[in-house]
Amino acid sequence: MEIATTITSTLSTSTLVPLDRSSVLWVLIVGVIVAFFLAAGLGANDVSNTYGTSVGSGVVTIFQAYVLATIFITMGALLVGWQVTDMMRKGVVDVDEYKNAPHELMLGQLAVLGGTATWLAITTALSLPVSTTHAVVGSTLGFSLVLRGTEGVEWYEIGKIVMSWFLSPAISGAITLILYLLVDFAVLRRNHPFDCGLRSLPYFYFAVISFNVFMATWDGSRLLHFDKIPIWGCVILALGIGLIAALLVHFILKPRLRRKIRESAYDVEATQNPPTKTKLSEADYSECSEDSGAVGKVKRFMKWLLPDKNRVDDEKTIQLFGSIQLFTACFAGFAIGANDVGNAIAPVASLVDIYTHRSAEQNSQVPIYVLLYGVVGICAGMYTLGYRIIRTVGTNVSKINPATGFTIEFGAALTTLVASKFGLPMSTTQCLVGSVVLVSCVRPGEGVKWKVFRDIVIAWVSTVPMSTAISAGIMFLLKFTL
């Protein structure tokens, strides 16, 4: 919900000026309609790029990804996404500038919704994944520049937010790289990777499920009274459920996976293409012995740390990660529901609150029906246009297999949820793409398609100025025609 407060904060004022409901009813109606298109754009862009790696690796079909996303986005929104965090409450504009002009603020929300929805529609049509965070911040800045100029713009805070946008792919990519190297050392580069993978599966499931449960319960839904559970209770509950899941995987899932994979066609492919081991040739030994200084030590360490680019991984082992990647895809959907649903529903929640209480003060909790409205809009956009972004992230940036897909999705979702809990504005889009790029640079086989990545970066850089311009244009029309 890190973006919810970008919009909500612009309405969180201490004005005592009551509103005439009849004069703002049309704003509420138009805002609800436009918010649906914004939610659809978010679903087609942000949500779809999250499931792109699962589809690209062949673990699930596009339709199956849609169904899973629908279920777990709803769960994430209801369990965690209800809460509007304070990370960007005063980060874009000074809301005191509008405390005596609530009607202008409501018109500003239409500009924010219109600017964000328009830019998401354009980039989705071009199959470019962008950050809704960028678009909302740019749109908020756009309407404020029209109404108040540069007065009230918190440039220092905006600078910190921009810095976090660069940190998003870097931090997520670093975490994902560490996860991939752990998988590589524990499983992929072993002499018997398939057996090592089977032994490691319960531990992977334990880590993923325990973390997911902890994030859902720690300071979680007030509706389910999760917010009353102490942190030690959340830890015990998470470890307990994770342990139960690990035992089920060990005694039920492992035997079935062993039997299924060994009977599949991957067994034949693995026999025909055995994995190669990373060994130093005589020339390598000679080169290392001649360069025995600091540079030589660094070269030897990197050669030991990173996988051989020419290695052919065991196909049976790779398919082991299909089941856990499917689970991490669900985890990623939960993170989207917890983190991004607010992008669509925050303005609706604000408009409903203002209309109900006839005041710009934001003291009430986000209604459940507003959250569900955002989920419906997100799913509508995902089902209709999501395939474009899924294709870009899942296949066009780099080739993804279940092993790399597992680490990419888990690393990006982990970064997003932790950042959300600690009030750090992270872009889920940039987290995911950063993870894909960094892991693809070091894993064996084909690397990154830099032309596609270049186009994505251009879209990232263009998002704030373009959404600012679109929102400013809409606000200009509203200001001088009403």
Q: Is the pLDDT of residue 142 over 90?
A: yes
Mean pLDDT across 147-154: 83
Domain span including residue 117 = 4-193+329-481
CB-neighbour burial class of residue 458 (10 A; exposed 0-12, middle 13-18, buried 19+): exposed
Distance CA 222, CA 264 (A): 47
Higher-confidence residue of 65 and 309: namely 65
pLDDT at 243: 97
Higher-confidence residue of 236 and 6: namely 236
Would you say residue 228 lies in a domain?
no
Range in 79-93, 150-164, 329-343 the model is least confident about: 79-93
Q: How confident is the model at residue 115 (pLDDT cuts 50, 70, 90)?
A: very high
Mean pLDDT across 39-43: 86
pLDDT tens per residue across span 315-368:
888 888 887 877 777 777 777 776 677 666 777 777 777 777 776 665 666 778
Q: How confident is the model at residue 48 (pLDDT cuts 50, 70, 90)?
A: low
Q: Is the pLDDT of residue 24 over 60?
A: yes
Higher-confidence residue of 42 and 19: namely 42
Number of neighbouring beta carbons within 10 Å of residue 250: 17
Q: Is the pLDDT of residue 203 over 80?
A: yes
> Contact, 416 vs 426, CB < 8 A?
yes
Would you say residue 276 lies in a domain?
no
Range in 194-203, 263-272, 398-407 the model is least confident about: 263-272
Which DSSP string do the residues of 91-135 spell out, in sequence order?
SSB-GGGGTT-HHHHHHHHHHHHHHHHHHHHHHHHTT----HHHH
Q: Is the pLDDT of residue 279 over 60?
A: no
Q: Is the pLDDT of residue 415 over 50?
A: yes
Mean pLDDT across 109-122: 89
* Direct distance between the N- and C-terminal alpha carbons of the chain, in angstroms, rounded to an integer: 32
Mean pLDDT across 373-381: 88
> Contact, 326 vs 54, CB < 8 A?
yes
Would you say residue 428 lies in a domain?
yes
Highest mean pLDDT (candidates 107-111, 143-147, 286-290, 451-455): 143-147
pLDDT at 54: 75
**Contacting residues for 16 by C-beta, under 8 A, at least 6 apart:** 359
Higher-confidence residue of 303 and 267: namely 303
Would you say residue 413 lies in a domain?
yes
Mean pLDDT across 77-93: 56
Q: Is the pLDDT of residue 188 over 50?
A: yes
Higher-confidence residue of 386 and 99: namely 386
Would you say residue 307 lies in a domain?
no
Q: Is the pLDDT of residue 278 over 60?
A: no
Beta-strand ranges (E) seen in 224-380 are: none
> Contact, 18 vs 96, CB < 8 A?
no
Helix axes 402-421 and 155-183, enclosed angle (nearest 10): 140
pLDDT at 270: 47
Q: Is the pLDDT of residue 74 over 70?
A: yes
Q: Is the pLDDT of residue 160 over 80?
A: no
- How many angstroms separate the Cα of 365 from the Cα of each of 19, 35, 160, 230, 238? 20, 19, 28, 22, 27
Would you say residue 242 lies in a domain?
no
Would you say residue 36 lies in a domain?
yes
Helix axes 428-442 and 315-339, enclosed angle (nearest 10): 160
Tell me the whole-structure pTM to 2 decimals.
0.76
Q: Is the pLDDT of residue 245 over 90?
A: yes
> Contact, 109 vs 344, CB < 8 A?
no
Number of neighbouring beta carbons within 10 Å of residue 40: 26
Highest mean pLDDT (candidates 1-5, 143-147, 450-454): 143-147
Q: Which two tokens stand for residue 192?
A: 């018997």
- Domain total in the chain: 1
Q: With the CA atoms of 276, 280, 281 and 286 taken in that order, what torsion angle do they form, in degrees rounded to the nearest 10?
A: 170
Mean pLDDT across 21-26: 79
Q: Is the pLDDT of residue 383 over 70?
A: yes
pLDDT at 445: 66
Q: How confident is the model at residue 210 (pLDDT cuts 50, 70, 90)?
A: very high
Q: CA torsion sign, 28 to 30 to 32 to 34?
A: negative
Range in 47-56, 216-225, 274-283 the model is least confident about: 274-283
Mean per-residue pLDDT over the chain, rounded: 77
Higher-confidence residue of 284 and 58: namely 58
Would you say residue 200 lies in a domain?
no
Q: Is the pLDDT of residue 281 over 70?
A: no
